[in-house]
Amino acid sequence: MDRHLIVFIKNPVEGKVKTRIAHTIGNAGALNIYLTLIDIIHHVVINTDAVRHAFYSEFLNKNDRWNDTSFYKHVQTGHDLGERMKNAFKSVFNAYSEQDTCKVVIIGSDCPYLTPSIMDDAFFCLEQADFVVGPTYDGGYYLLGMKIFTPNIFDDIEWSTESVFDQTIVKIKNQGSTFQLLPTLHDIDTEDDWNRYKTDH
């Protein structure tokens, strides 16, 4: 299997997840929303044909739905999101470097609009291009994939801004690599985002 899926998971601790939502509905409500998002993403991931890697934000949780029979479990390392993603990609590519090809895709747990079909499309895109990116309407991305480890793609990005996607695409183009785009989706950062999702579904 040359398809590897990295899932970034925040340990579901009240007061540490969906903090922007917590500003309007409180920590307990924000945690409940995050747990719902985790359920949705777990369903998508478990129905995606790939080697699955769960990367926790703070500590390894041995007794949760991301079980050892379906997931390789890790803890994220790094000072910011870019460094954490870079290190996650590096660990997967290093572990499977003996393969002739290795397609690695990363997602978070903030985009409930993801589907197994979109995940399959992402891996298919890597048959044709060096990178695949799934943009979000707020200027970030919900998915990034590559088939050659390219650490500089995470350097000097202004994380958590509306220019993350644009800066990433510029880096890809500047190094002469090819890329394909997935559909633009909403992610869940605010109570309004969540209410939109509930209305749509």
CA distance to 81, 154, 191, per residue, from 157 (Å): 10, 6, 26
Angle at 115 between CA 120 and CA 139, to 5 degrees: 95
pLDDT digits (tens, 9 = 90+) for 103-116: 999 999 999 999 99
8 Å CB contact between 71 and 146: no
pLDDT digits (tens, 9 = 90+) for 60-90: 988 898 998 999 999 999 999 999 999 999 9
* Alpha-carbon span 194 to 201, nearest angstrom: 11
The domain ranges of the chain are 3-195
8 Å CB contact between 17 and 65: no
Q: Are strands 141-146 and 103-107 parallel, antiparallel or unpaired?
A: antiparallel
pLDDT the model gives residue 130: 97
pLDDT the model gives residue 62: 85
For residues 146, 149, 154, 156, the Cα torsion angle rounded to the nearest 10 degrees is -130
| pTM check: above 0.75 | yes
CB-count burial class (<10 Å; 0-12, 13-18, 19+) for 156:
exposed
CATH superfamily of 3-195: Spore Coat Polysaccharide Biosynthesis Protein SpsA; Chain A (3.90.550.10)
pLDDT digits (tens, 9 = 90+) for 16-41: 999 999 999 999 999 999 999 999 99
